[in-house]
Amino acid sequence: MKAASLLIVLVGLLAVVHADYEGEKVVRATIKTKEQRDAIAAWSPEADVWSFDSTLVVGENDIRVTGPQLLQLQALGVDYEMLIPDLQVHMEQAYVRHVESRKADNPAVDFFTAYHTYDEITAWLKNLTATYSTIATFTPSIATSIQGRDIPALVITGTGTGQKKKLFFSGGQHAREWVAPATVLYIIEQVLLGYGKNTDVTNLLNSAIIHFIPLINPDGYYYTWQSNANRLWRKNRRQNSGGTYGVDLNRNWDDHWGGEGSSGTPSSDTYRGTAPFSEPESKGVSAYILANGPFAGAIDYHSYSQLILRPYGWTNTPPPNEAAAKVIGDTVRARILAVNNVRYTSEPSWTLYYASGVSDDWAYSKGGVPFSFTIELRDTGTYGFQLPPAQIKPTGAENWAGWLYFAQAVLAN
């Protein structure tokens, strides 16, 4: 089949599969008052906020809207700019890019030219461990998801002896954020390739044990890959009462659970669940952190917004090590910037929005991790959650530079 004909078929298929996006747009809305925010928060169905970890704030918000919701924004006097004028077309174009990248994909040569399924990620980790068996250990399952899928982990350390500090890195809490697990995998590969060849990496691995959980939410991620599903799904796949699905895993951690920035409504994208650690995914990862720590530092990767965030999310009272954490966050930003001239912002989480029950706060306050960060990856709204496959490697490269500095800095503290 000729390329042009193939594209026509693919676009036609997506128009059927993702018809729910018909007539929708994504806008950057500047909410000026609490009254405006509360009015939008009362929408039914709830507004799908793409920016700032799906939390609606007084300030700029990227919001997916229907035609009637756009009219409501106008009636409320909310200023906005159009980011994606036709979400249906946006999704179709993203799907074509995705399929084309998969056609050309050769994981044996370069794993990072396309996004990969849950099964492919698991197989890649297992095979990589076999190749680097002297320094890498693959654990097929540190816990199982609500639907019974394994959550794999990888541990890497050098052959150096003596007491070693530990580091922890994760991604994929939110299903639609495909570039997050891809970036963790990219970092894993750089670590393994660099040992014995790169002095910084070799010295790091000889003095540290590094733990990776690239995909915390396997069910949600798996769901976003299904042809009849919602590519923009965020939560896990728990079946809630009332016929709704999903808990936001990054509102389910046992640190000020139930507070501001989370929702008690099961249909909400920020639904916190019925109790702290009600979900096997967050409960399993937290148990892993406690059992394998203490960790000197941790980063949980998300997308999008290009942010380097540090505790706290639930309060504007700074933690005792705020000054040191700020230096690390600001320098991570500088290292990222130096690679591709892509600008991230380093700041405490609460300055953007309040969020409770989140993993980086728990890791800092209860998990014994003195430097616990969240990084929101590319971009700032042009593609949003549909970051093109061609940007996987540049995103990975800039964050590899930030990661390597972070690892060295927290081990030195």
> Would you please indicate which residues are annotated as catalytic (active-site) residues?
376
Strand order of the β-sheet with 25-31 is 48-49, 59-65, 25-31, 79-84
Q: Look at residues 345, 375, 379, 342 and name the one whose alpha carbon lies nearest to residue 28.
A: 379
Site of tokens 């074509």 = 96
Q: How is residue 139 written in tokens?
A: 């654990």
Phi, psi (degrees; rounded to nearest 5) at 180? -70, -55
Q: Please tell me whether residue 203 adopts helix, strand or coil conformation.
A: helix
Site of tokens 């199982």 = 144
Q: How is residue 7 written in tokens?
A: 């594209």
* Burial letters 208-226, b for 16+ CB under 10 A, else e: bbbbbbbbbbbbbbbbbbe
Q: How is residue 180 written in tokens?
A: 């997050």
Helices and strands (H and E) in the chain: how many: 12, 12
* 142 touches 152 (CB < 8 A): yes
Element housing 375 (H / E): strand 371-377
Cβ burial of 383 (10 Å; 0-12, 13-18, 19+) is buried
